[in-house]
Amino acid sequence: MLVTAVFMVTLDNLVVTTALANIRDALGASLVHLEWVVNAYTVSFASLMLLSSAVADRYGHRRVFLGGLLIFTGSSAAAAASPSIDALIAARAVQGLGAAVILPLSLTLLAAAFPADRRGLALGIFSGVSGLGVALGPLVGGALVQAGSWQAIFWLNVPVGVALLALTALVLPPGQAGPRRRIDLVGATLVSAGLVGVLVALVSVQHSPWFSPEVFLPLLTGIALLAGFVGWEARTPEPILPLRFFRSQRFVAVNMVNVAMYFGMFGAIFLLAPFLQTVLGDSPWQAGIRILPWTLMPLLISPFAGVFTDRIGARTLVVVGMAMQAAAIAWIALDLQVSMSFVALLGPCALGGIGMALVYPPIAATLLASVQQDEVAPASAAMNSFRETGGAVGIAVLATMFTLAGGDTTPAGYLAGLRPALIVAAAVLVLGAVAAGRLPGRASRPARVAAVTAGVTR
C-alpha cells in the first residue's frame, strides 16, 4: 500500500515529459509554460513537505496521510479536466501539495513498521519503487498519450487514489497524534515563497537579461526570503526544520547527494524526452521505450543495494552510483546525433539506471541512521524537500543552458542546446559523487550491533 502510494506520487514528477508536445499543441503553451507544468508540481512538492511533516506529527500520521491521498486524487482529476494551460499549472501545484504529504509520511510509516536491523531490504524495495516511479514517468506517460490523450496521464491517478484511500482507512492503524506543538507557519511560508522566487528568476533568464527586473527582483526576493527562513529557524522554539540536523556530516552529505542527483536526472530527462520526439521522430511511446533500460534498473537492483548497504557501507555504493550516472549522461551528450538507433542509447541508459539503483537505498538508510527515532518525519521531509528542489532547479538551469546555447526545435538547434546542458548535468553529478565521499563507510560488526541496540545512530 505504502509503496503504491509512493510510486504514484513519484511517477507524476516526470510522467508529463513525453506529453509536453501534446500539451503544447492542445493548450497553446510556450516553453516557459511547459517548464511550469513540471516545476509547479516539484516546487509545491519540495516546499510543503516540511509543513506536512509538522502537521502529521501534531494531528496523527494516518489522518494526515489520508488527507494527502484525497488532495492528490482530487487535483489529478482537476488536471485532467483543465481547460487552459494556467488551470493545468494550478492543478499541478495542488497535486504537489498532496505528494508533499504522502512521500515523507510513507517513509516514516515504513520506518516504524520494521526494526532497525531489518530495514535494509524494506528500504531497498521502497527506494527501488520510488526511483522507478521517477524514471518510469516518461514511459508510462508516453504509453498513455499514445493510447488516448495527455489527459489520461492524470485520470490514471483517480481510481488508484480511490483504492488507496479505502485500503488506508481499512488497514493502516489509527496511531496517536503527537504533542500539541505550534506549527511553524512562518517558516513554511518563508521557504515556499523563497523557492518560488528563485525558480521564477531561473526560468525568466531564458528570455530576459540577468539584471533585468524580471530576473533580478524575484531572485533577490527569493534569496532574501530563504535567508530569512534560516534566521527564523535558528531562533524559533519549534522550527519546521531543526538546524541542528546540519551538525551531522551524514545528514549534510545525504542532502548534497540528493540535490546533485535530482538536478542531473530531472534536467536531463526533461530535455531528452522532447528531443527523442522532435528530432528523432519518436512517438511518445517510442520515446519511453528508448529510455526503458534506465527505468527498469532501480526496480531490479535497489533491493540488493539495500541489503549490501549494511555489508559494505553507504559511501562505496553512492560514490560508484553517482559516478555511473555522470558517465551515462556524458556518454549521451557526446554521442548525440540527428539520427540515433535504439542500441545507441541502450548502454548509457542501462548505466544510468544502475547508478540510480545504487544510490537510493544507502542514502535512505544513512538518513535514518543520522537522527533520533522521533525525528525521522522532519528529517525525511527535509531530505525529500532538498531532492525535489534539486530537480526543479535542475530543470530550470538546464533549460536556461539549452536556450543560451542556441537551442531551438530544429534538429541542429536541439543538438546545439542539448549537448552543453547535458555536460552541465554530468558535472553536477560528479560533484555529488565527491560529496558522497563524506558518507559513512562499512561499520564494524560490534558498532552496527551497538547502533541497532541503542536505536540511534552515530
Higher per-residue confidence, 386 vs 424 = 424
Packing angle of the helix pair 342-368, 314-335 (nearest 10 deg): 150
Question: Each residue of 236-260: pLDDT tens digit?
Answer: 988 888 888 888 888 899 999 999 9
pTM attached to this predicted model: 0.75
- Domain range annotation of the chain: 2-183+240-454, 184-239
Q: Output the pLDDT for position 428.
A: 96
Query: Residue 1, SS3?
Result: coil
Quote the cell numbers at residue 108.
Answer: 516514516
Distance CA 6, CA 298 (A): 14
Question: Each residue of 337-377: pLDDT tens digit?
Answer: 888 887 888 899 899 989 988 887 788 788 877 777 677 76
For residue 128, is pLDDT > 60?
Answer: no
Give, in degrees to the nearest 5, the angle at Cα 121 between 352 and 356. Answer: 10
Q: Output the pLDDT for position 121.
A: 56
Note the residue count of the chain.
458
Question: Each residue of 49-91: pLDDT tens digit?
Answer: 778 877 887 788 788 889 999 999 999 999 999 999 999 999 9
Quote the cell numbers at residue 217.
Answer: 527582483
Q: What is the mean pLDDT of residues 108-116?
A: 63
The residue written with cell numbers 486524487 in the block is 73
CA count, 13 A, side-chain hemisphere, 50: 28
- Mean pLDDT rounded to a whole number for the chain: 80
Distance CA 41, CA 377 (A): 21
Between the CA of residue 381 and those of 101, 131, 187, 393, what are the distances in Å?
9, 17, 14, 18
pLDDT band at 287 (very low <50, low <70, confident <90, very high): confident
Q: Output the pLDDT for position 446.
A: 33
Contacts of 155-161 spanning 24+ positions with Cβ under 8 A: 155/76, 155/77, 155/80, 156/76, 157/8, 157/12, 157/72, 157/73, 157/76, 158/73, 158/76, 158/77, 158/80, 160/4, 160/8, 161/8, 161/69, 161/70, 161/72, 161/73, 161/76
The residue written with cell numbers 534569496 in the block is 223
Which residues, at least 6 apart from 137, have a Cβ–Cβ distance to it below 8 Å? 10, 11, 12, 13, 14, 15, 16, 17, 269
- Cβ atoms of 388 and 258 within 8 Å: the answer is no
Helices (H), 205-313: 213-235, 249-278, 284-290, 292-312
Higher per-residue confidence, 160 vs 109 = 160
Higher per-residue confidence, 108 vs 274 = 274
Which residues, at least 6 apart from 348, have a Cβ–Cβ distance to it below 8 Å? 327, 328, 329, 331, 332, 335
Distance CA 236, CA 205 (A): 35
Quote the cell numbers at residue 324.
Answer: 555511473
Distance CA 371, CA 245 (A): 8
Give the residue among 424, 381, 405, 438 at the shortest CA–CA distance from 105: 381
- Domain 2-183+240-454 of CATH type 3.40.50.620: no
Question: Each residue of 376-394: pLDDT tens digit?
Answer: 767 877 887 788 788 878 8
Radius of gyration, alpha carbons of the chain: 21
Q: Output the pLDDT for position 125.
A: 60
